[in-house]
Amino acid sequence: MGQSIVVPGGGGSGGASTPQSVGTIWVVNSTNASSAYANGLRYIKMIDGATEFVEFQFLSVVTGNVTFVFSYAMSSATANSVRLRFDSLIVTAGGNPTTAVTTGTAFTVTPGSNVLVQEVDSGDSANLTLAVTAGDIVYGYLTRLGTDGADTHTGDFRLIDIRAMAA
């Protein structure tokens, strides 16, 4: 297994309309090892010009729709686009992981800043929302399609956090 860090789920303040974290996510593999910003914040980079990924596992403690949210920052400021794809595999509680991975549809985000931490969520791709049952294990794969012609950003995509949220 490559990368082995725990990414804690985030959460709101607990109001009825505030999305809540629904479990803990473990990053189990990635193209690149994690690095650190000067302030100590850890990230996993996905460079331009290559197809690179982060694989994670998530154990669901709820039944319903779960949306994965990815926090990131770019290494350079341009108004260009980053091409991403989210693939997933859901193994039901007590099930056999023989189901094929569901390949998501590629989508584009345009960060525009390397100063702010930004997020990718279901507003960017409906593929980031999955129907799960408590006890399911979700295997997720976020891939930067840096060789795709629609990926025009020359900076590194720096993945900082992965959260699974339910409304």
For residue range 122-138, what is the model confidence (pLDDT) as tens digits? 999 999 999 999 899 99
Average pLDDT over residues 87-97: 86
Question: What are the tens digits of pLDDT across the range 6-64?
Answer: 333 333 333 334 455 576 677 777 777 777 665 667 888 899 999 999 999 999 888 99
Q: Is the pLDDT of residue 167 over 50?
A: yes
Q: Sign of torsion, CA 102 107 113 119?
A: negative
Q: What are phi and psi of 55, to 5 degrees?
A: -110, 135
- Give the C-alpha separation, 81 to 12, whole Å: 29
In 3D space, the residue among 85, 71, 86, 68 whose CA is nearest the CA of residue 132 turns out to be 68
pLDDT at 78: 80
How high is the pLDDT of residue 51?
Answer: 95
Torsion of CA 142, 148, 153, 154, to 10 degrees: 100
Question: Could you tell me which CATH class the domain 5-166 is placed in?
Answer: mainly beta
Residue with tokens 């409906």: 126
Q: Tokens 């693939």, residue?
A: 87
Residue 121 has pLDDT above 60, yes or no: yes
Confidence (pTM): 0.81
Q: State the amino acid at position 77 in one-letter form.
A: A
Contact predicate 47/33, CB 8 Å: no
The domain segmentation of the chain, as residue ranges, is 5-166
Q: What local confidence, expressed as pLDDT, does residue 7 receive?
A: 38
